[in-house]
Amino acid sequence: MEDTIKKVALVTGGSRGIGRACAIELARAGLDVVINYAGNVDAASKTVEELRALGSNAEAYQFDVSNKAQVEENIAKIFEKYGRIDVLINNAGITRDGLFIRMSEENWLDVINTNLNSAYFVTNPVSKIMMKQRSGSIVNMASVVGLYGNVGQANYASAKAGIIGFTKALAKELAARSIRVNAIAPGFIQTDMTKTLPENAVAMMTEHIPLKTLGTPEDVAVVAKFLALDAKYVTGQVLGVDGGLIF
Ligand code: NAI
């Protein structure tokens, strides 16, 4: 019976970059995929078209993951339409880089709210749905920066380290209901988030990566799909997708 039900995935920040690639990978695996996005309607519509072309009953929902009321309202709408949520990819994220001594309170709070508090806002209602289903899989997008820190990213490193602790605690709490919770720690991935970096900084970074190349959103997406759907005996893990940067 269970096998005949079409699974439903929610990918936050799914309109572009890593989230878009995860959404496509899950649609390829036969899931109906709901993407969330912050504001770029054109990018979201284009991604939805791509997902539908893969046979997925896809929709895009615009809401701010750092706004509790917006999240609750939209998760309720998604549940009303789809009737279940099997996979959650907590992917939406931002950077507001700067040396800590000059970091404004606004830049600290924006990053913590969007990258960490959002995980609470989104996962809280979704985990209740998964608990009733007695099944589900959650993949949180962390970062290598959450494991080893980075100059100019005290806010981002704090949020991503928080995501790793969140993953491990939640994995322990939800295991009894057959809900798995894992995290991915991407290294340097080519997306809008990283394209503003100066060329010489990119060359220097690449030199430090054992595989000597930057990653692509697809490199992360195949791992997200593996953790979300295939790795049935894996929970509470943080899997690096970083070309060997840290191990
Ligand atoms: P991106 O900037 O290309 O895409 C971010 C996505 O998040 C967009 O779809 C955007 O609409 C959405 N988003 C941002 N703020 C939002 C909000 N308040 N509410 C709803 N959606 C919001 O970024 P990228 O590179 O694809 O990153 C995705 C995730 O991967 C992020 O969590 C990021 O921290 C993480 N990551 C990225 C790395 C990289 O090298 N690109 C490395 C390590 C982690």
Angle at 41 between CA 38 and CA 42, to 5 degrees: 135
Cα separation of 35 and 50, whole Å? 12
Q: Residue 247: pLDDT band by 50, 70, 90 thresholds?
A: confident
Q: Residue 195: pLDDT band by 50, 70, 90 thresholds?
A: confident
**Of all residues in the chain, what percent carry a pLDDT higher than 90?**
92
pTM above 0.95, yes or no: yes
Using the predicted structure, report yes or no on whether residue 3 has a pLDDT greater than 70: no
Pocket of ligand 1 (CB under 6 A): 12-13, 15-19, 36-38, 64-66, 91-94, 114, 141, 143, 186, 188-189, 191-194
Please state, in angstroms and as integers, the Cα–Cα distance from residue 50 to each residue in 19, 57, 159, 208, following that order.
13, 11, 31, 35
Q: What share of the chain is helix, strand, coil (3-state, %, to 5)?
A: 50, 15, 35
For 222, the token pair is: 């195949």
Gap from CA of 176 to ligand 1 centroid (Å): 31
pLDDT in tens, 34-85: 999 999 999 999 999 999 999 999 999 999 999 999 999 999 999 999 999 9
Using the predicted structure, report yes or no on whether residue 4 has a pLDDT greater than 80: no
